[in-house]
Structure 1
Amino acid sequence: MKQLLLSTLVTLFFVGHLNAQLGEFRVECTTGDSVRALAATAGPDGSIYVLSSVANGFNNPAGNANDAIVTRIDNTNQMVWSREYDPGTFQSITDISSTEDGGFMLSGTSTTVYFDGFLAKGNADGTLQWSQFPGNPDLLERGFAGLQTSDGGYIFAGHHSPSFETALYLVKYDASGAVEWGQYYPVAGQGATGYDVAEVPAGGYLVTGSIGGIAVGDKAFVLRLNEQGSQLWANTYQYQDFVGQGVSVVALEDGTFALLQTTFVDDQFTGARGALISRINLDGSVIWSRLVVLSNQAVTVEYNGLNFVLYSQPEDLVFTPDGSLLFVGASDVDNSGDIRPALAKISKDGEMLWGLELAEEGFLSGPFRFGGSPLTVTSEGYYAYVYEDLYDRDGFRLVKVDEQGQGICADPLPDAFLTPVNLDVAPISFVGSTLTASTDLDVNVSDQDFSINPNNSSFTLDLGNDTLICSGASLLLDPVLDSTAVYQWQDGSTDSTFTVNASGIYSVTVTQDECTAVDSISVVTPEDAVALGPDLEVCDGESVTLGPVFEVPGDYTWSNGATTPQIMVTEDGTYTLELTTTCGVVTDEINVNILELPDVGAEVVPPNCGENNGAITINLSGGDPASAIEWFDSEGNLIAEGVQTIENLSDGSYEAIITVGADCFSTSTFFLAAPDVPQAEVNVSPPNCQGQASGILTLDVTGGITPYQFEWSRNGQPFNESTATINGLLPGLYAYTVTDATGCAISQDSIALPDVPPINFQVETVDPACPGEATGLIEFSGLSGSTSPYTFALNGSTEQTEPVFEGLASGLYEVTITNSNNCDTTVSLTLAEPNALSVDLLAQPNPASFGDSVQLEIISSAPIDPALSTFQWVADSGAVLSCTTCHDPRLLATSSVDIELTLTLDGGCTYSAELFLQVDGTRQVYIPNAFSPNEDGINDRFEIYPGAGLAEVLNFQVYNRWGGLVFEAKDGVSAWDGTTRGETAAAGVYAYIVQVRWVDGFTTLYEGDVQLFR
């Protein structure tokens, strides 16, 4: 179908032909083996690698139960080659992924003695570069997914079972197949299996799978790893506490990723099942999540004489080149008891773009496969998917559609296919342990053979090429389809054909079985094919292309000699076109008028004084008359039209659009730049000293237009100054007015020029403490109200910066304080002379006898506070004072003595006084010369009677006339009672010896006799 060339009209045609690469195809194994479809991945040049497996059972004669088969299918859906791979006794190769060299990787499980992980690198021709058992060959391990990494290496994911508890494990290989690192990732108390792994563009990996076991995991998880396999974070994602498993994880280019997981939709294991599709940030937080209810109940089927329960399950999720997500899963969305693949394209915002339900009604999809990726995007941008019919044992189906989901006949999915939901996200911890083992193994490779045939053909709808019909003729449009087709033409008619006899675009929509196609055709008569349309007005300096709307086969001749369907003109005139076709000759003409725009002059008056008083006037000269004048402000708002002058404008840009004719216009832009309104800042300098005419006012004026004029006033009276600065000012209230060259004036009243405050201070004076001393002080503090620093001068002496004068005698002083502005103040101060104190001493008694205790007293002209004064008493050597620093000591008189007192008051003043004490030095003691011990109470004892100053009797003995000792004072007995040895002594004369010690330390011996009377 050929599209007509248009000059001023573009018509789009949807062609109903389907691409031969697209559609559904049955891939049949021609060797007699039963096969299961597992996975698919894109190959080079639009080809596809399809992974399937032999499903003959263990007892088949060929002994190839579960061998992997890779079939390469080119972009025309022809088989390039097919290879069978046998790595061991039993194998479950579940996944295939493409490599950058055009080859592929196989991932899964193989068996020697134990279950072992399996990883193999294949070439584009199906040969293998290498194959290995990733992990420890002595442990039970299973693999599910692998892919090539951006560094050319490979990463493999699965689980191992060192005991009865599974643990996730990953192995990273370099490009040659050598192990770079390996890690086990157990979860304490729970099993963990990894079903899919993805590389993050920013670095590191994402792994998804299930926590809780391989058959029915409890929760889906995502584990984020760095490039060395260390955990960055791990979360579980669950919907309303239902059981779920992670199926597929896809890293997106924008730093997010998508997660596909299974979920139950109720608490019954045989009940509703669904899929959860989520877009998640790289920190693990969920952006959005959508629930897909795949079926409301399980389907029970009979297979090989046994009953089986089939479940709907999500299968795969991939990222498309246009930034969308592609989902596929086995479903029973209409609850009809079948299980059919559901293919849906979803935007990155979680909205369904389109959805298809594949296969025919009643179809039962083959059992769910763990780890496989049956969905891929080819290098040509088509979407390919492999699936199988439960009852079709020797083949499987391949579906290829374009990015709009077209290429096959399929039922659409319901609009409510996706339901927004919220997921519960919880952190989980995997404990990594090192795994380094990997073992080479041999794989037997043999050829297999498949045939590929269309399985779901669509039909071709073709109304033919765009065409010319002669006036009065007609054209029959006939799609030529079978009787099952249903038609709807552009006018709503439903006949299988449509008769055309006039120019126009005709279309039909045809539905046949489950397929719908649309086609259209343009039909034109010679008169319409030569029609040039209405006369044109063209702007001066521009060109215009003349020609008919439709181009048809024929000869074109213009009045200017041109023979092309279209010509370009730049001049006035009438142009005629003659068209010769099989229908004859037809002509048409068109007038072209060149319009000239006038010249635009302008008078611009900018606004001033901050007011909207600007104006613009345009003057038009020459050219054609203006058909319209429109004015626009800077925001594109229409503010006036039909006038040449606009007023009351603020500053800014304005556009005037002058239109001539219908489409010729010129745009003139004007910018009104209003000068800034004058602004003034007043700088105030108060007088230097209080009451002094030395103040200054200065105006700093900006904005407006110079020169400026200044007017001043003081205290409401005009002030004869006209400059920006006025000085020699007394304190007061001033005002100014500034007028710029445009007459814009600003003013300010009540500018206070303050008086300088006086120098404020506190002063402390201390009088001399003692009469005649120079210990007075004057000290200033708390200076304020003026500018520092300050100086101080005493009685006109040299100035000093310290505010203290010390060592002053009593008298009148004047202190002058001067500030930094040389302003001063003087203060007069008086220091008083303290009153003198007279001090004398008094001794009682005076004169005194030997041994007297003489009381010393201070006689003063003013009271003395003993607590605040100090005393120092000094007497001649040998004199005994009761204390030397107390207020009123006592003196023991032994001899005449000079006494001196030094008195210091609390202010530090010292006074002294002297006294001579006259002492009679006679030592007095009385010893009786007779006694009568007759117990009459009178003179019954002979004892020593001491005078003043006697300290102690050292010895007191009495002897009889024969010299015998009759009494000795001892043991506390100091008087003789006239007995001797307990017997009454005879009357008579007795001799005595008495020795005494005086208070001054001298001793005296007394001897004599005493008469004892009876």
Structure 2
Amino acid sequence: MLVFFIHSSISGQVEICDNGVDDDNDNLIDLNDEDCVCQVVASTSLIPNASFEDLNCCPENKSQLYCANDWIQASTPTTDLIHLCGWTGISEYPPPRPFPDGEGIIGFRDGRFSSSDTLDAYWKEYAGACLINPMQTNTFYRFKFDIGFVDPVISPPINVSLFGTSSCDHLPFGLGDAAFGCPSNSPEWIKLGEVLVSGGAGDTWINTFIDVTPDTDIHAVAIGPDCDPVSNSNIIYYYFDNLQLIDLAAFDLQMTEHLHPCSQDFTLSVPANADFEYQWYLSGVALIEETNAQLSQNYGEGQYQVRILAGSSCRVSTAYDYIKPEFFTSDTVVICSDESYTLGNRDLTTSGFYIDTLLSQNNCDSIVSLNLKVNGQSFDTIEVSIAPGESFEFGANRFSEEGEYVAAIPSSIGCDSLFLLKLIHYNIFIPNIFSPNNDGINDTFFPLSTSSEVRSYTMKIYNRWGNLIFEGDQWDGSNLPPDVFIYIIHVDFINSSSNVFSGSFTLVR
């Protein structure tokens, strides 16, 4: 057992940092105790959005890498973004399933055939990104990635190459030149490294890496095929996923998930090295006998860390927050009164809101919210407004008078639904007399209504001989002598219905 920097407590005891015991009785155990000092190393990739999950749009076709945030179409020949939210790739070159990490990958070609079946040997497709932090001169880095192979013909062995540049301003390169080739054909770019990868029989993902020690600071990278022209007689196509660029010290502490997080056998691991001593912790407390690169079992939710000892070096990973995901769904279901609906282990026959927790395919909790409606058990209320003189069809009947009406109406699932109709009239009042004598009372003629019910109206006034004497919103009598006049008023209501009202009124003075 290892003892770190040791502070003497009042009792003279010291904290042993890997036994799961509060040795110095300060209520702090193992890594939670300040006695246990060890360098915390973050294993964050310098490449942003490493698995193409952070999107600003879902791809709808090829050549849409711009939908993935932080990625740049580095070359004039365009890489393809494939994501399960939208476009899922070229049908002739299906990507291996499942994807290594998440729902997004990119596809790229090395050479192509033009419309005249001529081989473009220098057509090379690259994806590029500005690094979150620059690669430092003379620092050891590992570029780790997954590459997907379709089959031995479409995806033969390939030299995957990593290129770098001192400024993000050099992305993209070779603008407008489809035959520019690889980035290092530009003086601003250098090749950092390459690795030969074979997909064997195909339909597979290969996880591999390139170790790099740059001799200058690198601020942006491009990933794709090597610089040599291709000579194949067919299209060559590959896929990338999970592009990680981390200094090698951090790679030792990079955790890998095994199985789905909801599986009872879910565990974590870090890259194994025979020269290292390992100790795993949960919430800062040592897990006894967990001293290998991979956890032997699932200890439940919490913050996991691993400590690595190598000679006099002590390093601890940043915390991995393990929380079993929960999925929430809601649904509205309508059944007939002689039927039931099964939710979990319950057979439901009564209208209401129900919540249950079920297990999904991966053993995750799926919390289901159900709004169950049983036809015939309760009324659905409909409130309808119509103009006086209009009617409303309800079930097998039409109603024109205000009131409440009940009807059983056949539903789409084959049984009757009960509805309560509340029918009301729009409140339209048209005076039968008005007196335009400037006394402030009944000086103009117009229909009276609740402003919230009427969208607009037009009014025409005729004399007793049928001559149109006014058209507009309000009539002031036009200095005519007392008489009987005819109105025709067209009203548009807020429910998009309309009605025409006509009748007579008397002008008095």
TM-score w.r.t. length of structure 1: 0.17
The structure with more radius of gyration = 1
| Larger RCO, structures 1/2 (Cα 8 Å, 6+ apart) | 2
Between Structure 1 and Structure 2, the one with more strand by share is 1
Q: TM-score normalized by structure 2?
A: 0.29
